[in-house]
Amino acid sequence: MRVYLRARGQDRVGGEFIFLGRAPERQWWREHRHYFEAESPTVLVVSDGATWRVMLAGVPTALRDVSDRAPTYTVVLDGAAGDPDAALALRLVDAFLAELGEVADSPRAGAVIDAQLPPEVIERLRAWTLRDGRQDEAVGEVADRVCQALATLPAPATAGSAPAPASWVSLITDATARAAALHRAATLFAGTAGIVAYLNLPTQAAVVRPLTATAGGAAVLLQSEAALPSGLVDLDPPPAPERPTGPKALAGAAPARRPTVLEITTAAALVALAVMILLMIF
């Protein structure tokens, strides 16, 4: 598993956010940027069946810079299907979803990272990255420290979840939905294609419907939506009814209408005339 951590320095000037060591080769999460606000809490777990990727943004930290601002972490992970370190990634996703769902007494993802990366370590790793040409050493130390932090999080229970639609949406505060999302994430780490996401922008279910085109489906947790019912709301559109084929189908069915008074009168006169002709013959 490859580990990337984006953190801010302590200085007022020159303490901007950077990935310690090296940044990911591609910022793949930007493909979904219209669904979330940068630097705010976000969860993305994406798998194509062969590899998986995780991006957690806006992870709160107890650290403060010299202006007493509270910076956040961005954690990016990736690996191959079946990677044993995926268990650590799942612990991180579980802890952050519980935190976002305001679960009381749940472990805080940022707190365990803080414990392994105090301010002096972050400053040293920033110096290695920006000035000292020791990026490879920084990458290795970041991976070691983050993995040690994640190992302190409790292992989540993912077995026994009820069957869920291929694509669904729910609220982050729904415990059943969080459990279903975590179960889906576990399958993504194991080699199933799909996406699990927590999107931080207040939005509507219809807005995230395009995610259903993702192979394997999409499990989406939303910040809030007043009109969203409880439970998992199926995002897959119902199948369209079969349409008849052939010339009549192309022309369309003629609309039904009532005969006019003139048509009724004309028909009655023709019937009467026909009766008179028959009487004259016989």
Amino acid at position 213, single letter:
A
Amino acid at position 159, single letter:
A
Token pair for residue 265? 């009168």
Residue pair 198/43 in contact by the 8 Å Cβ criterion: yes
Token pair for residue 278? 């028959």
Give the position of tokens 């990016």.
76
- Nearest Cα to 171, choosing from 230, 227, 212, 211? 230
In percent, the amount of the chain with pLDDT more than 70 equals 78
Which phi-psi region, left, alpha or beta, contains residue 82 (left: φ > 0; alpha: ψ -120 to 50)? left
Torsion sign (Cα): 109, 115, 120, 121: negative
Question: For 189-225, what is each residue's pLDDT tens digit?
Answer: 999 999 999 998 877 788 888 888 888 899 999 987 7
Give the position of tokens 């207040």.
202
130, HSE (Cβ side, Cα atoms, 13 Å): 14
Q: What is residue 17's predicted lDDT score, i.e. its pLDDT?
A: 87
Token pair for residue 128? 């290695």
Strand partners for 7 = 18
Residue 265: band (very low, low, confident or very high) from pLDDT cuts 50, 70, 90: low
Token pair for residue 141? 């130390």
Question: For 115-168, what is each residue's pLDDT tens digit?
Answer: 999 999 999 999 999 999 999 999 999 999 999 999 999 999 876 567 889 999
| Crossing angle of helices 135-151 and 119-130, rounded to 10° | 150
For the cut 50, the answer to whether the pLDDT of residue 246 exceeds it is no
C-alpha torsion 101→103→106→111, nearest 10: 50
Q: Is the pTM of this model over 0.85?
A: no
Distances (CA, A) of 166 to 35, 181, 212, 215, 277: 20, 11, 8, 10, 73
Question: For 42-87, what is each residue's pLDDT tens digit?
Answer: 999 999 999 999 999 999 988 766 666 778 999 999 999 999 999 9
Q: Count H helices and E strands in the chain, helices first.
A: 7, 9
Query: Which is higher by pLDDT, 257 or 247?
Result: 257
Token pair for residue 93? 């996703």
For the cut 70, the answer to whether the pLDDT of residue 244 exceeds it is no
Q: What is residue 207's predicted lDDT score, i.e. its pLDDT?
A: 85
